[in-house]
Amino acid sequence: MNKLFTSIVCASLLLPVLASAQSAFNGTWKADLSKSQLPKKPDVYLLQDGMYECQTCVPPIRIKADGHDQIVSGHPYYDTMSIKIIDDRSVATTRNKNGKTVITDKMTVAADSSTAELEFTDSSATNADPVTGKVEMSRVAKGPTGSHAISGSWRTTKLANFSDNGITLTYKTQGDMLSMTTPTGQSYTAKLDGTDAPYKGDPGTTSVSVKVIDKNTFEETDKRAGKVVSVARMVVAADGKTMTIVVDDKLHGTTAQYVAEKQ
SS (H, E, C) 12-77: HHHHHHHHHHHHHHCEEEEECHHHCECCCCCEEEEEECCEEEECCCCCCEEEECCCCCEECCCCCC
Same domain, yes or no: 215 and 131: no
Q: What is the DSSP letter of 76?
A: T
Coil vs helix vs strand at 24: helix
CB 212 within 8 A of CB 19: no
For 179-204, what is the mean pLDDT? 95
pLDDT, average across residues 213-234: 96
N-term to C-term CA, the chain: 46
Q: What is the pLDDT of residue 74?
A: 96
Let me know whether 138 and 183 are in one domain. no
Model pLDDT, residue 99: 95
- For the domain that residue 233 is a member of, what is the CATH number? 2.40.128.20
Which pLDDT score is estimated for 127?
Answer: 75
Considering the domain architecture, whether residues 23 and 70 belong to the same structural domain is answered as: no
Rounded to two decimals, what is the model's pTM? Answer: 0.88
User: Measuring CA to CA, which residue among 74, 81, 56, 72 is closest to residue 151?
Assistant: 56
Q: Is residue 173 part of a domain?
A: yes
Domain boundary among 164, 194, 222: 164
pLDDT-based confidence at residue 23 (cuts at 50, 70, 90): low
Quote the number of domains for the chain.
2
**Which of 16-30, 81-95, 128-142, 166-180 is predicted least confidently?**
16-30
Kindly state whether residue 184 falls inside one of the protein's structural domains. yes
Q: Pick from 164, 183, 211: which residue ends a domain?
A: 164
DSSP single-letter state for residue 20: H
Based on the fold, state whether residues 152 and 172 are members of the same structural domain. no
Measured in whole angstroms, how far is the alpha carbon of residue 244 from the centre of its chain?
15
In a domain, 13, yes or no: no
Percent of the chain topping pLDDT 70:
91
Both 62 and 159 in one domain: the answer is yes
| 54 and 160 assigned to the same domain | yes
CA dihedral 16, 210, 230, 263 (to 10 degrees): -70
Residue 101 has pLDDT above 50, yes or no: yes
Instruction: Based on the fold, state whether residues 27 and 119 are members of the same structural domain.
Output: no
Within a domain: 1: no
Q: Is the peptide bond before 198 cis (omega within 30 degrees of 0)?
A: no
Same domain as 193, residue 226: yes
Q: Is there a single domain that holds both residue 101 and residue 200?
A: no
Residues in the chain: 263
Domain that holds residue 157: 43-164
Same domain for 159 and 59: yes
Residue 85 lies in a domain: yes
Q: What is the pLDDT of residue 28?
A: 98
Of 183, 109, 192, the closest CA to residue 143 belongs to 109
Residue type, 179: S
Residue 93 is assigned to a structural domain of this protein: yes
pLDDT the model gives residue 175: 87
> What's the whole-number mean pLDDT along residues 86-102?
97
Q: Residue 6: pLDDT band by 50, 70, 90 thresholds?
A: very low
- Could you report the per-residue pLDDT of 117-164, keeping only the tens digit for each? 999 999 998 777 899 999 999 999 999 999 999 999 999 999 999 999
Under DSSP, the state recorded for 200 is: B
**Could you tell me if 49 and 159 lie in one domain?**
yes
